[in-house]
Each structure stands twice: as structure tokens, then as C-alpha cells.
Amino acid sequence: MSGDRSTLMITPARTITSVLVANRGEIARRVFRTARSLGLSTVAVHSSADATAPYVGEADAAVHLPGNAPGETYLRADLVIEAARRAGADAVHPGYGFLSENAPFAAAVVEAGLTWIGPPVEAISSMGSKIEAKKLMAAAGVPVLAELTPAEVDSSDLPVLVKASAGGGGRGMRVVHRLEDLAAEIDAASAEALSAFGDGTVFCERYLATGRHIEVQVLADQHGTVWAVGERECSIQRRHQKVIEESPSPLVERLPAMRAELFDAARKAAEAIGYVGAGTVEFLADESGRFYFLEMNTRLQVEHPVTESTTGLDLVALQFAIASGEALGGEPPAAVGYSIEARLYAEDPARDWQPQTGTLHRFELPGSTFAPGGPREGMPWVRVDSGVDSGSEISPYYDAMLAKVVVWGATRGEAATRLAGELSKAKIHGVRTNRDLLVRTLRHPAFLAGDTDTAFFERHGLKREPAATARSAEPEVAGLAEPLADPATEDLSAIVAALADAARSRSQAKVQRGLPAGWRNLPSQSQKKAYSVGDSTYEVHYRATRDGWVVDGDLEVVDVNSELVVLDVGGVRRRFAVAAYPGLVCVDSALGSVALAPVERFPDPAQQIAAGSLVAPMPGTVIRVGVEAGDSVKQGEPLVWLEAMKMEHTISAPADGVVVELAVSAGQQVEVGAVLAVVQGPEGVDG
């Protein structure tokens, strides 16, 4: 019943025929993929916002959970169990996130007579509190970082990490460097944890700013066998959330004796709580190989594909097998090769990882979708696990992850090079993503050298780094969050967009369709179009002549139609693919992908926003307002807090001034671009 049946011994099993996945998006599709291969029928649950999501259409049956917010849909255990009953499911797979580590939900599933595809309720409970989990692990001989109660922290303990006892995924976490900030950060972390997990309990521990995040995949059956199935390194993180994961760990490869110690600690952790099923024991390690228990995730991890790629196992199939009563064999298969996974998010890394919403007009990635296992020899292999397709709407209600792109290679360098190349060639139109950040990271010398601690982005910078001195001959170093396409490529892309638009207009003309737009029998002045890319504007001048198109610059127009433009640039022929959407033109080439917004020649005055206005950068919920109309504020002072896509965002004063208008209140839903407040500077100058 697994990806490698030779590793299982069949025992009397409880029959599973139909599984409900108590989740959404990518992980629901992933579980469905294996369930179908095992001959099981599948049941989806979905919110109103997810009614047309790909996973819903792929299920054999789907049950609507009215509403959009997780609290009224995917976090409603009673509704999920009732959906299983109505659809005739006899098993529930929790996926990850939402209710996956909720012991009362697991207990309710079992009490309803359904098979729970997860660990025992007691095991979930014992790991549900990070405070109690660390005590259990210390007693079992697993290394732990000493817990600090907030009242115990003094200046000698700094910096400390405030953590939510009941949470994960970076929610309810704060790094504190100054003792005077501790109380406020504890309050903020507690409030976020209460909102996200229903439990505001927090604790502190010593913060290792440059630690390595290493975890061990464990599998345990109902007969006492515990496997440690390879380690993963997940040190490339933003906001305490993983971005790039890989197996094996570069640190453990450098310190091979560390692997046996990690595996032994992970098995001890699982045995200490009578664990059954798939789980992950997470550790924080330093460069010398010392490691400390962080937490145990009593579920499947987002990054499980890299373990599947290097071992050939189907971890979801093994979850079904173990839940049915089957036994694991003596030893797991040995890992072969190297696998790296990149999480593709709808977000803007250069703007504090701001999540993005909207229509995903085109989403084309290479690779085999949700293919468990992986090659054991041969050429690099690409796998894509995604919850979206072309045309999907990215809503503000859920996590911003669009897909996981996974590559296997015979060497780590081969895997990194292939993954960067495949990502750079992907066509992603409609929302801004972290794709260029991922590509730059995978190609960065420090990453390729295995120098990948949790402070990677802070150490290597998201923004462009200037030369060391004003007279230095050294070029500026591109920041990791900068686009792969440079200004010269953006300029070329604007030319391409203008030419393709002219060709499109001509093809749609009712008369003289064969002539290019703007063509004149006699020489005439150039046509003009303008496009914006971020804060830059590019103006294009072009003419249609008897001999074809003429544009300014050292280039020749070789061929033009509405979807493809070929240019000869300085003697090098280049092809540019063009896709036009309302208010957006996307140009893809080997030089990089560029998203351009046509600049209106005569903008509508009614659409102009008053100076000094603070607008919502994304749709979301106002969770807190820190000022009132008439208050004086300082530049950088937090004014409004928004929650969107499982992340909290602070809107701060752009300058010193007075809040002359406050347009929102706590609990209010806002759309992108909505005015939140207006700050007026000294003597009537807008902030």
C-alpha cells in the first residue's frame, strides 16, 4: 500500500474505502492523488471562496462549508465531521494546518466511528503545548533549549524568542533584543496566538540568530516500529516560515556523525509519546553540530516531497497503511541523491513580504504534478505540488503559498541549478510572487556552498547593496528580492508590449487589417505608448513604415504579432512571449519576466487618492487601530494593523503629522486600495 511495498508486512487491516480531506488547496490535491492510486474515493470540503478551486473539482464528492474565514469553515470540527457522514466517507485525513494538530478534533473523528489518518489523540495532546512537550523531551533524553518564563528574562538572556505554546508556522513569534520591549512583544505575540490558535499562552527561550533548522521525518506503526526516514534542512526562512527546504541537510553532510545522533533523538521523541503515523521532529542546530529540540509536528509536513524524492517512498500511502493496521518493515530505504523544494508565494518580498491577491491569469510550471516518490538514478526530475491553476482567484482568506516546486538531482549543485532554471522559465501572470527571490537565492554563492542558516535573508540582503565606496570600481550587488529582469530588460519589454499591442489592434481592425497600426504612406511622427514597472515608467516611440517597424535604439524588429515579438538587439536575436490582460501586459523571455501596466494618457481625476492617505496594500481584516482622529503621530509609528493570508501587517505613519481622518475600525474588512487614514504634516503639509 506504500510507494515501496517491499518495506511493509501486511497485517489484519481496517478497510478504508473513502477519505475526506479536512483541508484545502495543495495538500488536499496531494492526498487525493495517492488516494486515487489506492482505489479510494475522495471527499472535499470547501468554503464559499474555494467553491471553484481545483481540488474541489478533482474530488469525487464535495461538501460546502458556508462562509470564507477559517474560523467559520475549515476550523469547524463539527461541520467537517458532519460532511464526512453526509458524503459517506469512512476516514478523515487532516492534511496540515487548520485542525491537523487539534486533539479534540482527532478525538471527535474517532468517536464518530471514522478512521483517523493521524497519530493517537494522546500523542497530539502531549505535543500540543510546546512548554509541556519540551519537558517530555528533556525527560526522554532529547536535547532541549531551556525554557524561560517571561518574568525570568533579564538582560543576560537577550536576545530571546517569544513563542506561542499552541502554535506553529511563525504565528505568535517575536524576537526581542531589548528588555524594555519584552512586555509589549509578549502582549502582541499572545494576541496573535489567541487569534490564530485559540490559546494565548506564550513562553520565551534563548534566540539563536544564525541557527540551522533541521528536522527528521519519522514513521511509526501500531506494532512498535519507528523509522527515522532522512533529515531535511529548512533554514531559509522569512518571518520564521520556511521558504526553501532540502534533503539531505548540507550541515549534516558536512558532519556525517551528526545524522545518527539526530535519528536517535527523533526516535526517542516518537517513542516517548507512543507515536503512530507520520510526524516530524524539529531541531535547531549550530555550526558545530549541537542541536536542540524545537517541536514535534504531529502531521505531514509541507516539505515532505523532498523526503519522498530521495527515498522513493509515498508518505501519504504509508499514512493510509499505518492507519489500516499494517506494519513497517525492519529498516526504511536509504536516501539517494539530493532534493530541494522552493515554496512559491503570492507576495512581495521587497515590501515586507506583503501578500498579493487577484486573478492568476496564467500559471505554467514545468514538472509532474503531485508525483510521489522520485527517480533513484538518471536525470534531474521536477515535481510540482500546487493548489492553483491558470484562472484561479487568490483570496485574502488563506495562506499565500501557490505551489511547491521540487527537484531531484544526483548532486546538490545539479538540483539547485535545475530548480533555479525551471523557476526562471515559469509563466506566472497576474499576481506578484517571490519567484525571483527564490531564483537568486538558489544561485547565490552562499547557498551553493551550503551556508544556509535562519538569518540568510538578513545576512545577504533583500535590497540592492551599494559598492563599498563612492570611488569603488566594484558594481552594486543585486539584492535577493530584486527582479531578475534589469532596467534594460524592462525597457525592451516595454518596446515589445507596444509593438504587440499595435499588432493586436491591427488584427482586430475591420478595414485594412493587413496594414500595421499607425502606418502612413508618407513619413510621419512616431506613435507613443508608456508603461510602468514598479516605480519606473518607460516611454516607447515607434513607427510603421513600408519596410516594417522602426523603434528607437540599437535594435531591429524581426517579427511581430500579438503574442510573439522577435528583436535583434545589438546583433543578438531574442524572442519575447507576450500576454495581455486588462490593465496588465506580461512579457516573458530568457532575460526575465516583466509585468507592465499601461499608463493612461488621460487618467480619470476621480480615481486620484488624496495626498497623505494611507491605503490598504492588500484585502484583509483590520484587527487593531492604534490612534484616533486628531492624534499627533511620528514617522514610522504603527497606526493600523491588518491581517491577511495568515499574516499580520502594520501600516505606519509615513511622516510626522496629525491624523486628520480615520476611515476604519477594528473588525472591519477592507479591499486593496481602501483609504485607512489620512495624515497631514506640519502646517497643512500632507504626510
Residue positions annotated with a catalytic role: 299
Burial class (CB in 10 A: 0-12, 13-18, 19+), 240: middle
Q: 644 — phi, psi (to 5°)? A: -150, 140
Distance of CA 459 to the CA centre of its chain: 21
* Cβ density class 347-371: b for 16+ within 10 Å, e for less: bbbbeebbbbbbbbbbbebebeebb
Per-residue CA distances from 530 to 43, 545, 574, 602 (Å): 49, 21, 22, 12
SS3 content of the chain, % helix, strand, coil (to 5): 25, 30, 40
Phi-psi region of 137 (alpha: psi -120 to 50; beta: other; left: phi over 0): alpha
Q: How many Å apart are CA 62 and CA 269, to the nearest integer?
A: 37
Of 184, 47, 49, 202, nearest in space to 624 by CA: 184
Name every residue whose Cβ is closer than 8 Å to that of residue 507 and which is 6 or more positions away in sequence: 513, 561, 562
Q: What are phi and psi of 617, to 5 degrees?
A: -75, -10
Q: Is 367 helix (H, G, I), strand (E, B) or coil?
A: coil
Scanning the structure block, which residue is given the C-alpha cell 488621460? Answer: 602
d(Cα 607, Cα 591) in Å, to the nearest integer?
34
Q: Helical H runs in 48-92? A: 54-58, 77-87
* Distance from C-alpha of 674 to C-alpha of 376, rounded to nearest angstrom: 52
In which residue are the cell numbers 458556508 written?
66
Would you say 70 and 99 are in contact if contact means Cβ atoms under 8 Å apart?
no
Q: Quick one: angle between helices 77-87 and 103-111, nearest 10? A: 30
What is the DSSP secondary-structure string of 620-648?
A: EEEEEE---TT-EE-TT-EEEEEEETTEE
Q: How far apart are CA 594 and CA 536, in angstroms?
A: 12
| Helices and strands per DSSP (H, E), number in the chain | 16, 42
Q: Which three cell numbers stand for residue 203?
A: 513562553
Helix (H) / strand (E) containing 280: strand 277-285
CA nearest neighbour of 228 among 240, 218, 238: 218
SS3 491: helix
Write the burial class of residue 69 (CB in 10 Å: 0-12 exposed, 13-18 middle, 19+ buried).
middle
DSSP state of 397: S
> Which residues are registered as beta bridge partners of 401?
345
Q: Which region, left, alpha or beta, applies to residue 170 given φ > 0 means left and ψ of -120 to 50 means alpha?
A: left
**Cα 482 from Cα 525, distance rounded (Å):** 36
